[in-house]
Structure 1
Amino acid sequence: MQYNRLGKAGIKVSELSFGSWLTFGKHINVEVAKNCMRAAFEHGVNFFDNAEVYARGLSESVMAQIVKEYRREDLVISTKIFWGGEGPNDKGLSWKHLVEGTKNSLKRLDLEYVDLLFCHRPDPETPIEETVRAMDHIIRSGWAFYWGTSEWSADELQQAYDIAEKYHCIPPTMEQPQYHMFHRERVEEEYASLYENHGLGTTIWSPLASGILTGKYNEGIPENSRLQRESWLAKELTEDKLERVRKLTSLAGDLGCSMAQLAIAWCLVNPNVSTVITGATSVEQVHENMKAIEAKEKLTKEVMDKIDEILN
């Protein structure tokens, strides 16, 4: 396992990380979650991602039961604040909700601090200045070590950097964007100046495009698959994408890896990706995902050019 600096920050995160979205407290029980985290940790994973909204807080409570078995210094734990509840002040990035949401997350996680704290989405109803000042307060209070954003535009992030500089606040360290073979522009183009000018780190999510890049839909939609459960995903599964995945699956076979491993490895090759967040509902799936590190070594320039030909 390789450990990367989170942008220009000193903290190091494993190149593959483990997230609890859609699994902890929802589709798997505590024992399975514990086994999955243990398997990931044994592979060298040190970064575990969460959010206040995952399973309405239950995901954090499940993780709390698991992390007690580890030395805190060996873990990098994150959570994300935006959707905390139904009340008018239980959501968004106001100073009030950021502080209250962070404290509530720490209670559920049973931790004194998280390593990384994300503003889960941009909030058009709260001035970015208020958000930056609130996050500065949270960091200086010791409730988190680094703060960042998720799915903010480059313009919004630049505003945050400018405000932080103007008021001598701690600036954002990292962004958590969606990134995969079919969703590239933001990470590869829009953020380009932020990597160079501010040393922005990234903790990317959905490397498998909600399962499309596993190849499991190449011949149709299996029974009890996520695509069958969640209708919104169906519109993402176009015939054009399927045809590309079929070609990529054939290439993965030639390389001696699975389609999923190829897709994750492709993300790892990007030097501006600090860590790729993976998910799993079984220990076997964790082991399979971790083999993407071996697949990464097979992605020569020639192979990457072939992938680009298929994608373009």
Structure 2
Amino acid sequence: MIEYRYLGNSGLKITELTYGNWLTHGSQVENDQARACVNAALDVGISSFDTADVYANTAAETVLGEALKGERRESLEIFTKVYWPTGPGGPNDTGLSRKHIIESINGSLRRLQTDYVDLYQAHRYDHETPLEETMLAFADIVRQGKALYIGVSEWTAEQIRAGAALAKELRVPFISNQPQYSMLWRVIEDAVVPASEEAGLSQIVWSPVAQGVLTGKYLPGAPAPAGSRGTDEKGGKGMIARFLDDQELLARVQGLKPIAEELDLTMAQLAIAWVLQNRNVAAAIIGASRPEQVIDNAKASGVSIPAEVMARIDEVLGDKVARDPALTAETSPATRRA
């Protein structure tokens, strides 16, 4: 069964593997298959589910709401996010203005078929809206009981500190950050993680398997396997391109196979277990297009990787690891229309 961890300095426990439906529900995967994946997650003990209003332009929330209908609400932890454009993309259909936040939480609750979400997250930092306006809107949503806790995604260390200061002033439970993090993408380690620890936040990390690269299925010099994310024209191919274009990186990843075998893990399990070794990580988000993937990935829960093996992983990957903290800022558009 999946183990639980506290989220930030709160009393909320979430499953250290969280099921996410980015790039799958409402787009890549048919609804019946999506429901099968959610059921598989529930069967292995996952109770935490992550989505966002922008995924498949709100369709992913609808699919998740249908898949969870009939489950005991108190036994679930449901997360969603706000920032990116939704609907027809009008001038107020994006960002972190009070108008967009209030309208977005109401739409998310309707689609998810619930009275509240456990965690409501700012999907990026909004450079065009005063932070005070954003945090006050979040505070009002918490006080209305529409969200129990608030968090952010891909905020820089400075942004997290500023948000935490306002949250403390407004007495709002600000407890999480959701960044990209994997063996290959460690840009949060030097600045974001220390700032989060100071502020009482922990990480819910996405793409722990580097969009599938760390499964080892992408071989240097070979075309991406048919049906993989590397061939998906709906969005997956663009996200993974930076890894697939680096043949040396792909060769280094193949060097992880003996390590996974020694630990009796698949390469995907090794990658997920690796991010969970970071004490500031509360959960790794896993996605799936087939129920078997959920069942397989669940075996990464509770795995302890010895320090000497962690060091060997570093040796194998070498200088192919991205570490520059400045890369976090590049994920947030300077303007909402970017």
- The answer as to 2:191 corresponding to 1:190 is yes
Give the match's secondary structure for 2:115. Answer: coil
What is the CA deviation profile of residues 96-126 of structure 1, one whole-angstrom value per residue up to 9, with x for unaligned ones? 0000011011111111111110000111111
In the aligned structure 2, how far is the partner of 1:22 from the partner of 1:196?
30
Q: Distance in 1 between matches of 2:173 and 2:147?
A: 13
Counterpart contact for 1:132–1:171, Cα < 8 Å: no
**Higher normalized contact order (CA 8 Å, seq sep 6+, divided by chain length):** 2
Q: C-alpha separation between the residues in 2 aligned to 1:168 and 1:235? A: 40
Cα distance, 1:309 vs structure 2: 1.3
Is the counterpart of residue 302 in structure 1 residue 308 in structure 2? Answer: yes
Partners in 2 of 1:145 and 1:197 — Cα distance?
21
Aligned amino acid, residue 161 of structure 1: A
User: Which one-letter code corresponds to 1:289 in the other structure?
Assistant: N
**Rounded Cα–Cα distance in structure 2 between residues aligned with 1:300 and 1:57:** 41
The counterpart of 1:257, out of the listed 255, 265, 269, is 265
Q: Using the aligned pairs only, state the percent identity.
A: 44
Judge which range, 167-176 or 260-269, deviates more: 167-176
- For 1:191 and 1:138, the matched residues in 2 are separated by 26
- Structure 1 residue 243 corresponds to structure 2 residue 246: no
TM-score, normalisation: structure 1:
0.95
Task: State the match for 1:291 in structure 2.
Answer: 299
Offset, 1:168: 2.8
Could you tell me which of 178, 181, 204 is aligned with 2:180? 178
Give 1:99's aligned residue. 102
Which residue type is aligned with residue 275 of structure 2? C
**Conserved? CA contact 2:10–2:173, under 8 Å:** no
Equivalent runs, 1:204-243 vs 2, <5 Å? 204-219=205-220, 220=222, 221-230=224-233, 231-232=237-238, 233-237=240-244, 238-243=246-251
Contact kept, 8 Å, 2:160 with 2:196, in 1: the verdict is no
- Which stretches of structure 1, 4 residues or more, deviate above 3 A after TM superposition? none
Aligned to 1:146, what secondary structure does the other structure show?
strand
1:60 aligned onto 2:46:
no
* SS of residue in 2 equivalent to 1:145: strand
> Which residue of 1 is the match for residue 153 of structure 2?
150
Tell me whether 1:135 sits opposite 2:138 in the alignment: yes
Partner secondary structure for residue 33 of structure 2? helix
Letter in 1 for 2:184: F
Distance 1:271 1:16 in 2: 14
Which SS does the other structure have where 2:301 is aligned?
helix
Quote the residue 2:111 is aligned against.
108
- Contact map agreement 1:61 1:108 (CA 8 A) in 2: yes
How many residues align? The count is 308
Deviations 1:221-240 (A, max 9, x none): 21232112244232322122
Distance 1:254 1:103, change over 3 A: same
Match of 1:168 in 2: 170
What's the counterpart of residue 200 of structure 2?
199
- Larger helix proportion of the pair: 1
Give the Cα separation in 1 of the matches to 2:242 and 2:175: 34
Q: Deviation at 1:171?
A: 4.9
- Supply the distance in 1 between the matched residues of 2:241 and 2:136 (Cα, whole angstroms): 40
Write the distance in 2 (CA, Å) between the matches of 1:303 and 1:275: 21
SS at match of 1:291: helix
Conservation of the 8 A alpha-carbon contact between 1:79 and 1:118: yes
Root-mean-square deviation (CA, aligned residues, Å) is: 1.4
Structure 1: which 5+ residue stretches go unaligned? Answer: none
